Amino acid sequence: QKEVEQNSGPLSVPEGAIASLNCTYSDRGSQSFFWYRQYSGKSPELIMFIYSNGDKEDGRFTAQLNKASQYVSLLIRDSQPSDSATYLCAVKAGGGNKLTFGTGTQLKVEL
């Protein structure tokens, strides 16, 4: 079992729709959760981070965390073509600061 799992996609959504990206993790001791966006050939860009169960909203982005189910998700409202990228889920286990990344979900927002 991979430590951090994401569906590789591609996930295709029409412009203006809600994109839902999901991530599961195996280490119950994980404490911090991050979403990064990576355009092809570019570096990861921090989108959201969440530490507590529940929802956290920032503009068009909402991160959701359920530690009991070991599940974290990212919702993108009013999806735009510029949101087309690979979204990386990253998890920090308790103790230490290294991030463990999923392989990413490719999102395509279609006109």
Partner 1 sequence: NAGVMQNPRHLVRRRGQEARLRCSPMKGHSHVYWYRQLPEEGLKFMVYLQKENIIDESGMPKERFSAEFPKEGPSILRIQQVVRGDSAAYFCASSPPGQGQPQHFGDGTRLSIL
Of residues 43-82, those binding partner 1 (CB under 8 A): 43-46, 49, 51
Q: Which is nearer to partner 1, 44 or 109 (CB)?
A: 44
3-state secondary structure of 89: strand
- Which of 51, 49, 52 shows the shortest CA–CA distance to 62? 49
111 touches 16 (CB < 8 A): no
Q: Contact region for partner 1 (CB under 8 A) — 21-29, 59-67, 77-85, 92-100?
A: 92-100
Contact between 104 and partner 1 by CB under 8 A: the answer reads yes
Nearest-angstrom CA–CA distance, 74 and 72: 7
Nearest-angstrom CA–CA distance, 37 and 15: 18
Among 22, 60, 61, 101, binds partner 1 (CB under 8 A): 101
Q: Which is nearer to partner 1, 19 or 47 (CB)?
A: 47
Q: Contact region for partner 1 (CB under 8 A) — 10-18, 64-72, 76-84, 85-93?
A: 85-93
Q: How many residues belong to the site for partner 1 (CB under 8 A)?
A: 23
Give 15-31 as a DSSP string. Answer: TTSPEEEEEEES-TTEE
Nearest-angstrom CA–CA distance, 96 and 109: 36
Residues in touch with partner 1 (CB under 8 A) = 31-32, 34, 36, 42-46, 49, 51, 88, 90, 92, 96-104
